[in-house]
Amino acid sequence: MQTIPHEIDARIRWDPALIRKYDVAGPRYTSYPAAVQFSEGFGSGDYERYLHERPPVIGPLSLYVHIPYCRNICHYCACNKVVTPDPDVAERYIGAVEQEIELLAPHFDRRRRVTQLHWGGGTPTYLSPAELTQLMHVLAKHFLLIDSPERDYSIELDPRSVDGSTLALLKGLGFNRLSMGIQDFNPAVQRAVNRIQPFEMVERLVASVREHRFKSLSFDLIYGLPLQSQASMEQTLAGVLALSPDRISCYSYAHLPEVFSNQRSIDRMQLPSADDKLEVLHTITDTLTDAGYIYVGMDHFVRPDDELARALHDGTLQRNFQGYSTRLAPELLGIGVSAISSTNDLYCQNVTDVDAYHALLQQGRLPVRRGLRLSAEDILRRDVIMQLICRMNIDIEETGARHGVDFRRHFAREMRIIAGMEREGLVAGEGNRIGVTAAGRPLVRNICMVFDAYLDPSRQRFSRTI
């Protein structure tokens, strides 16, 4: 076996042959088991009993709030959203969110500090200034929000609906991180996906973000969009680098018009071929790493002075439904339509239909649609997968001891597959560690899939791993 250092190797090497071989559909592993395994048989009553019977939990708390509304439809979008120009729907929705919080909050110790808060959508800034303020006040009434450097309070922005006054309000409400949906700066690509936001618009907004001294700014990009090419992505990346965000997330577009009706507006003939899409990703990876960004994993890049880069180096990086973090809490409480909650041994998701969400809350019931109680085997495999995603290695002896198993015997089948990956140069081993190599880093999802006991590619829909 090759020798690997115990510290994280942040390099990345692009091997076209291996990339093509492993370009298959697979989970993004914001959780394990993946959300497709949640059971429709788990509902409101089950979650209420779980919260009532579980032992007291200490430590911080993470909150996620979902705002589903958008004023315009983006053709590529696979998020849970409601497109409407009617501003009155937001007022009613906030009332329902407050009802949900009132049902949930008594189950959580009021002294637990909320170290991580994220508002996603949809478009959270669909809300008016008064509604944004009202929602934050509702959260502060029931949970211990903090005003200290350790907090990680973020919100997703649509550059088309935000200005300097909005940024000032968000800063005053306690948000210190912003995530901006860029997708692509090329005008033709923007027209093809119905999201027109010229570079100059984003440039002005970024300047205002800097003026308001937010702690961090993240850009989201999507590769595989219609009319996108290596040349157009080079243009987009030049703009991205000129604006110098702290973090960059790159997501693979999954064209599933049979699932997401808005994607039927995309001309399939304008989508890049599989080979062209890989070249676009290759361009992204090379350009960003050459510019000094650190590849954290799962298509996430950060500036070398970002705390995620430090956490990667220190082996303290963590991941949940909100992405990579340095401040994960023992429990994540999801609030709002389609939001997902997680504890050590439970995942549950709210209903995805706004009318159903309102109806359940009017009955005084938690709006849970489905969930999953994790077995000891699930928790073990989650531990292994999260080590791969966050640390790029597995500590075999420590993991086995933590879960009371002989790792090599328990995962005998998986270790045979890993041995094949080692021969291909994706992983390397030294004693009681398995480490992801520079060539394996772009394929870490595929390495994780080896340990996924639920995976059945013939029955499930995922984005491609590349």
Query: How much is the pLDDT for 320?
Result: 85
Which residue's structure tokens are 């109806």? 359
Query: How much is the pLDDT for 279?
Result: 93
Q: How confident is the model at residue 316 (pLDDT cuts 50, 70, 90)?
A: confident
pLDDT top residue among 7 and 81: 81
Give CA–CA dist 191/84, Å, rounded.
20
Q: ω before 33 within 30° of 0 (cis)?
A: yes
Q: Tell me the β-bridge partners of 342.
A: 332, 347
Q: What is the mean pLDDT of the chain?
A: 93
Give CA–CA dist 66/350, Å, rounded.
10
Question: Mean pLDDT throughout 101-122?
Answer: 96
Closest-CA residue to 447 (of 27, 38, 37, 4): 27
Q: Is the pLDDT reported for residue 54 higher than 50?
A: yes
What residue type is 251 in one-letter code? Y
Which secondary structure element, helix H or strand E, spans residue 428, and what is its range?
strand 427-430
Query: How much is the pLDDT for 166?
Result: 97
Which residue's structure tokens are 């531990």? 383
**DSSP code of residue 464:** B
Q: Is the pLDDT reported for residue 59 higher than 80?
A: yes
Give CA–CA dist 464/466, Å, rounded.
5
Q: Helix, strand, or coil here: 91?
A: helix
What residue type is 97 in one-letter code? V
Q: Helix, strand, or coil here: 167?
A: helix
Tens of pLDDT, residue by residue over 354-388, are 999 999 999 999 999 999 999 999 999 999 999 99
Closest-CA residue to 370 (of 60, 92, 35, 11): 35
Q: Helix, strand, or coil here: 366?
A: coil
The strands making up 427-430's β-sheet, listed across from edge to edge, are 393-395, 433-436, 427-430
Query: How much is the pLDDT for 7?
Result: 46
Closest-CA residue to 434 (of 387, 368, 376, 371): 387
The string of DSSP codes covering 302-341 is E-TTSHHHHHHHHT--EEETTEEES---SEEEEESTT-EE
Query: How much is the pLDDT for 150?
Result: 86
Helix, strand counts (H, E) of the chain: 16, 20
Give CA–CA dist 158/217, Å, rounded.
13
Question: Mean pLDDT throughout 261-278?
Answer: 93
φ/ψ of 243, rounded to 5, equals -90, -15
Q: Helix, strand, or coil here: 453?
A: coil
**DSSP code of residue 54:** S
The string of DSSP codes covering 254-278 is ---TTT-GGGGGS-GGGSPPHHHHH
CA dihedral 317, 447, 77, 333 (to 10 degrees): -40
Which secondary structure element, helix H or strand E, spans residue 69, and what is its range?
strand 69-70
Q: Is the pLDDT reported for residue 192 higher than 90?
A: yes
Tens of pLDDT, residue by residue over 320-353, are 888 888 877 899 999 999 999 999 999 999 999 9
> Which domains can be identified in the chain, with CATH numbers?
1-33+376-466 (1.10.10.920), 36-335 (3.80.30.20)
Q: How confident is the model at residue 5 (pLDDT cuts 50, 70, 90)?
A: very low
Q: Among 2-16, 331-345, 434-448, name the one with the lowest average pLDDT.
A: 2-16
Query: How much is the pLDDT for 10?
Result: 60
Q: Is the pLDDT reported for residue 246 higher than 60?
A: yes
